[in-house]
Structure 1
């Protein structure tokens, strides 16, 4: 039987290959993380926008295997071809559906651009046909580089990761060569700020809720949640005070408007400020990977390190559907309070000066954790999983 060698390829900070067998094993591990906590009362029919990876995938996993919910996920991934193994997100959707159906749970995947009006129409049709005509939970977990203008499809907005007001120089991790390099970013223009708000703000979240309302597919006590990020002092220039922070505040304003609309019906629009985690998107933010290395080192010493599945499972159990909500003065859920506690951040800020191009080495403890998590996003570095698979098995899994 012919075999395929699955070679890991990282170009800069972008993974160019995938190991489906590793992703299948990671799926099983995440399901086990949820199920060992037991079941809890929550959503019954959940729509996950951006459910193919990271926080979106974790949301779908805990909704299904924690609450027993039927789930519909929208992801935008490249499927496999005879000469291409596909993206990790594609395989995550495939393996989730297999596991959910084996457990007796309804799971549907829609591979489409979440921003397009036709995607909204397709989702509404699926809800009416297969999900009893109503959903009670919507997760908005989208991190995208661009979005077409729904009014003028010939116009596309592109998001940028830039500071505001002045240039920013920081160290960025080069995963391909395992070194730190200095990167300088010029400040964003007004047009770039506006475009980033269009892509990463809450504009599309509001359009989704309004489309679902107009179609009559929401229950009265419907909940929706969008994921935001605050971050520590050390990443504020590139994140909180930059284009991404501006977009997150626009998203939070959308949340307040939606809350005013849903509350009279017994519904909720929630914003959760989540912790720092390793994702394909976060690794390209200057200074962010360096901060994560310091954070992970501190958490290894203290305990309390959470990956997306741990974090979202705790968020849903304790705060969204539980009785232990941690809310800040702006009404946002704050599961990131553990990370941002002074006891953690004071030590992180003491560790950061040790992480420079001159003294960085690949055996730095926090780096090893970060690299392992990055590799596992694409199915590599998973204990017990070989980098070889039967060609017939690949064909059976993917077509």
Structure 2
């Protein structure tokens, strides 16, 4: 099959196995080029197939030498249909990790469910005995509560009042105004249920009860704060309310894990191009301006650079973990530098459809978006016939 990108809204409905594999290899090569991380040896990554979760798994294996179990929900391919990008990413990661002598096992299913939690516990007992780190990096639009069966759907909306600001269609480069109506209390409740900390705590409770958390275990979840430009739709909106709940859960888990000499943290990461961020009005325009400024200053980082820095310089540096006044690890420090934000705000005030190309890095944003699905990757022949039916080794064992 010759695979080309096909779109439905902000989602690419195809993925390229060769491109995804090359993206994964580039992340592996980056980590191997850095100093080794004096970190954990047995890792569980929940939400392990794309973005920060995938980068965490790569950094832990090829930086710290960790064996890993990855949990995710992805669709396999067939002779006539491509798999999801996360499926191809995982197949490439597992192959590379196994060839390098590491254990890499995967579980594909609904991570919110009790069944997948139990399957994961059984696999930890069989393969590792216990895990030293649990990374929670789930990004999902909906969740079925495992005990009540209630279905929750998240929304990206402001709270309290409507919000109007600039946005961009990154496919066309058209800058326009968008108005978002405020969320209802029910929508807020649903978003917190999907994206907050309840499921993270359920995972840790289940793992602790099963006795598979090692002494000194660390658990970690990811968050974002961002600039004031995006606060009404993000940090002060429904997603922000969920992140507040996630961060409160970190404090709860930190206290809970003391009996194991363990710790729980939220790491606040920088803005990067993801499927989720692409769907948030205002955010793609902000990111395209941010990329322009950070690249010019030599400060730009993608997921893998962020995760390497998080594990090497913050969590496993050999000294105490540096946190902000709210107890969060901040690897968004370069994004939030005063000089960076001042320049981004100045560009924001002047950006329109005419000036966009010259004052933003929309092309960089667009390339990053396509690369999420294995497209626009250097060194890949996109006219070549490829087999979309790629196997993940541990799922076919």
Deviation at 1:213, TM superposition (A): 0.6
Deviation at 1:325, TM superposition (A): 4.1
Q: 2:311 aligns to what?
A: 316
User: Is the Cα contact below 8 Å between 1:13 and 1:175 reproduced in 2?
Assistant: no
Q: 1:68 aligns to what?
A: 65
Q: 2:77 aligns to what?
A: 80
Q: 2:283 aligns to what?
A: 288
User: Is the Cα contact below 8 Å between 2:170 and 2:362 reproduced in 1?
Assistant: no
Q: 2, 5, 16: which one pairs with 1:5?
A: 2
Q: 133, 136, 152: which one pairs with 2:132?
A: 136
Q: 1:268 aligns to what?
A: 263
TM-score (normalised: structure 2) = 0.95
Secondary structure of the structure 1 residue equivalent to 2:329:
coil
Q: 2:168 aligns to what?
A: 173
User: Is the Cα contact below 8 Å between 2:142 and 2:154 reproduced in 1?
Assistant: yes
Q: 1:149 aligns to what?
A: 145
Q: 22, 27, 32: which one pairs with 1:25?
A: 22
How far apart, CA to CA, are the structure 1 residues paired with 2:299 and 2:95?
A: 31
How far apart, CA to CA, are the structure 1 residues paired with 2:383 and 2:353?
A: 35
Number of equivalences: 392
Q: 196, 205, 212: which one pairs with 1:201?
A: 196
Higher deviation after alignment, 275-284 or 14-23: 14-23
Deviation at 1:38, TM superposition (A): 2.8
How far apart, CA to CA, are the structure 2 residues paired with 1:167 and 1:397?
A: 46
Secondary structure of the structure 1 residue equivalent to 2:119:
helix
User: Is the Cα contact below 8 Å between 2:79 and 2:388 reproduced in 1?
Assistant: no
Higher deviation after alignment, 169-178 or 190-199: 169-178
1:127-167, CA deviations, whole angstroms, 9 ceiling, x for partnerless residues? 01112x111100000111011122222x2011111000111
Q: 1:223 aligns to what?
A: 218
User: Is the Cα contact below 8 Å between 1:147 and 1:157 reproduced in 2?
Assistant: yes
Q: 1:96 aligns to what?
A: 93
1:18-59, CA deviations, whole angstroms, 9 ceiling, x for partnerless residues? 111111111110001100003222111100000000000000
Deviation at 1:396, TM superposition (A): 6.0
TM-score (normalised: structure 1) = 0.95
> Structure 2: 5+ residue runs without aligned partners?
none
How far apart, CA to CA, are the structure 2 residues paired with 1:63 and 1:216?
A: 22
Q: 2:323 aligns to what?
A: 327
Q: Which has the higher contact order (CA 8 A, sep 6+)?
A: 2
User: Is the Cα contact below 8 Å between 1:12 and 1:177 reproduced in 2?
Assistant: no
> Structure 1: 5+ residue runs without aligned partners?
none
Deviation at 1:124, TM superposition (A): 0.4
Secondary structure of the structure 1 residue equivalent to 2:70:
strand
User: Is the Cα contact below 8 Å between 1:12 and 1:176 reproduced in 2?
Assistant: no
User: Is the Cα contact below 8 Å between 1:12 and 1:175 reproduced in 2?
Assistant: no
Correspondence 1:185-200 to 2 at 5 A = 185-200=180-195
How far apart, CA to CA, are the structure 2 residues paired with 1:237 and 1:396?
A: 42
Deviation at 1:226, TM superposition (A): 0.6
